[in-house]
Amino acid sequence: MLDYSYPLNPLTNNYGFYPQARDSGMISHGEAELTSLPVHVALEGRELWDKFSNIGTEMLITKTGRRMFPSCKVTVTGLNPKVKYVVMMDMVPFDNNKYKWNRDHWELSGKSEPHLSSRFFIHPDSPALGERWMQYPISFHKLKLTNNTLNSNGLVILHSMHKYQPRLHIVQAPDPCRAQPGAYLRFTFPEAAFIAVTAYQNHEITKLKIDNNPFAKGFRDNGLNRKSDEEADETVSSSVESHVLHSPDMKAPPTATSNPFISAFMNGGAGQQVWTQSPTSHQPQHTLNSNNRDSSRLSSLQYICASLPAQQDIQGIHSPAAHQAYPIQAKLHQPHLQLQPHPHPQPDMDQSLPLPPKLSRVNLPENALRSLEMGSVLDHLNPWPLSNILNRIHARAEASGNAGKAVQGQPQHEQLPLVLERDTRPPFFPAAQDCGTTPYHLRPLLVKPVSE
DNA sequence: TCGACTTGCACATTTGAAGCGA
DNA sequence: ATCGCTTCAAATGTGCAAGTCG
């Protein structure tokens, strides 16, 4: 049986990006273009996520795509309000195992199948100013999961009976004036880990979904295959207790994904790197030096790789043993990425923040946005590199003239040709295949040291 | 035979256009 | 002409259950 508890830092579930020490060499003069605040990401709806994870979160995947419930909703602080960012999300394998449901618990069922290419769900508001991202919680409720490897609708492809965790990407949009690409951050949310299923296995999960998902209200209290409250309560408590790890493998930290794109991130060894120490990293260690930042002749993908953490973000927190020492673990693996209490009190977003405008009324067409990440049906064999995605976002932003503004009264599909047409211009972010001739720098987010 | 998966269904929410009055 | 509000149909999302597939 599995232990679904993720005893993260009980004080906070913020994931923070902190600058290196002032003398680390990472912060060089004139480059602190973000803010004096560390970048913080917090998963909203933790109580609900905890309810699910205590039982063993399952997410339905269908051929046509299914939304997540609970959906991922995050609050971000510490961005530069006047800088544009692209926010994306994908799913990464939680471990190397495949699972099966055995009467009342999950157990291992062999090794996982090779991870399919990561499909980035680009937030429909992207790119948008930092102030926008920080103004409202960023909701990924429109993200859809599928098991259809041939889908070309921008869905996130997953394997059934495999465990995944959401991963958030924050990419600083390119500045045309500086001809310099932006910074890149990513955060994983192990407390939102789930097993992808084509049909719910655990009835308690079904009950939780029905009780909490507004769309499933039709199944509430109608007696349809529902146990009495008394029975249900008993089952809940027993199922929670019964979800005990079956295999010792489960305690092992997740290994690098087999996704070629992500693997490329993780394994690209050459180039500059910001991590000043990484004891467990398999990558060569590099330090960022602004003087040689432009001297690299690496491929674009290699450069991206060089800017990314060696392994899973916040690595090790899946391991129960690591939970207690989580901040230390995180620091060891990624000196810059440290879990700390948020410097500012987290507002109750539901009460203190205004409701965000409805996406469908204020944003670019979702289809157009999704087109950024979708390609041919063979994408799973040849996924688009991140730089390619960024190029398209950049092109679309220019084409729209004002990202995030309403585009109404026009069929969505009519937006696409405009974007694609712009794609004929020289890309701001060189595509991976062009990287040999055009150095591409995707450097880490640069922030000013926190002023004491 | 069995587990994983697909499909159609009923029910509910969300969305957006249309109509109306101030 | 514009804005705000209400209404309503269509689109979309949900889990269930029966059937299919390997």
Q: How much of chain A, in percent, has pLDDT values that exceed 90?
A: 11
In angstroms, how far is the first alpha carbon of chain A from the final one?
47
Is there a contact between A371 and A379 (Cβ–Cβ < 8 Å)? no
Whether the Cβ atoms of residue A303 and residue A442 lie closer than 8 Å to each other: yes
**Which residue, A191, A84, A89, is CA-closest to A145?**
A89
pLDDT of A377 strictly over 60: no
CB proximity A139–strand B (7 Å threshold) = no
Confidence band for A117, pLDDT divided at 50, 70 and 90: low
Q: Residues for chain A: how many in total?
A: 452
Model confidence pLDDT, tens digit, residues A88-108: 999 999 999 899 888 788 988
Which one has a higher pLDDT value, A386 or A375?
A: A386
Q: Which nucleotide is nearest to A98 (CA to C1')?
A: B4
Strand C contacting residues by CB (7 Å): A 60, 66-67, 69, 142, 144, 199-200, 206, 209-210, 213, 215-216, 218-219, 224-225
How does residue A23 score in pLDDT terms, banded at 50, 70 and 90? very low
What's chain A's average pLDDT?
Answer: 55
Sort strands A194-197 and A58-60 into parallel, antiparallel or unpaired. Answer: parallel
- Name the closest nucleotide to A147, judged by C1' and CA: B5
pLDDT at position A75, please?
92
pLDDT at A163: 93
Q: Which of A330, A378, A384 is nearest to A122 (CA)?
A: A384
What confidence score (pLDDT) does residue A169 get?
A: 92
Enumerate the nucleotides of strand B whose atoms come under 7 Å of any protein CB: 3-7, 10-16
CA of A78 vs C1' of C4, distance in Å?
Answer: 37
A97 beta carbon < 7 A from strand B? no
Cα–Cα dist A13/A342, whole Å: 9
Worst-scoring range by mean pLDDT, A170-184, A201-215, A350-364? A350-364
- For the residues A144-158, what does the mean pLDDT come to? 82
Q: What is the pLDDT of residues A270-311, one digit of tens each?
A: 222 222 222 222 222 222 222 333 233 222 323 332 333 323
The answer to whether the CB of A206 falls within 8 A of the CB of A239 is no
Please report the pLDDT score of residue A314 as a whole number: 30
Q: Provide CB contacts within 8 A for A443, sequence distance 6+.
A: A181, A183, A184, A272, A274, A288, A293, A307
Residue nearest to nucleotide B14 (CA to C1'): A215
Distance A120 CA to B17 C1' (A): 32
Between these two residues, A439 and A313, which has the higher pLDDT value? A313
- B5 closest protein residue (CA to C1'): A198
In this predicted structure, the answer to whether residue A34 has a pLDDT above a threshold of 60 is no
Higher pLDDT, A367 or A75: A75
pLDDT of residue A319: 31
The CA distance from A398 to A401, in Å, is 5
Q: Is the pTM of this model over 0.75?
A: no
CA of A210 to C1' of C16 (A): 12
At A94 the pLDDT is: 92
C-alpha distance from residue A383 to each of A94, A119, A423 (Å): 20, 8, 18
Q: Vertex A86, ends A148 and A25: CA angle to 5°?
A: 120
Distance A110 CA to C17 C1' (A): 30
Give residue A104's pLDDT: 82
3-class DSSP string for chain A: CCCCCCCCCCCCCEEEECCCCCCCCCCCCCCCCCCCCCEEEEECCHHHHHHHHHHCCEEECECCCEECCCCCEEEEECCCCCCEEEEEEEEEEEEEEEEEEECCEEEEEEECCCCCCCCCEECCCCCEEHHHHHHCCEECCCCEEECCCCCCCCCEECCCCEEEEEEEEEEECCECCCCECCCEEEEECHHHCEEEECCCCCHHHHHHHHHHCHHHHHHCCCCCCCCCHHHHHHHHHHHHHHCCCCCHHHHCCCCCCCCHHHHHHHHCCCCCCCCCCCCCCCCCCCCCCHHHCCCCCCCHHHHHHHCCCCCCCCCCCCCHHHHCCHHHHHHHHCCCEECCCCCCCCCCHHHHCCCCCCHHHHCCCHHHHHCCCCCCCCCCCCCCCHHHHHHHHHHHHHHHCCCCCCCCCCCHHHHHHHHHHHCCCCCCCCCHHHCCCCCCCCCECCCCCCCC
Is the predicted pLDDT of residue A268 greater than 60, yes or no?
A: no
Higher pLDDT, A251 or A100: A100
**A22 CB contact with strand B at below 7 Å:** no
Give pLDDT tens digits for A435-447. Answer: 222 222 333 333 3
Which bases of chain C are under 7 A from a protein CB atom?
A: 12-18
pLDDT at A219: 81
Q: Provide, in whole angstroms, the distance separating residue A64's CA from nucleotide C20's C1'.
A: 18
Q: What contacts A450, CB < 8 A, 6 or more positions away?
A: A18, A19, A36, A37, A38, A343
What pLDDT does A388 receive?
A: 64
- Give dist(CA A65, CA A23) in Å, integer: 48
| Nucleic chain B contacts, protein chain A, residues 226-285, CB cut-off 7 A | none
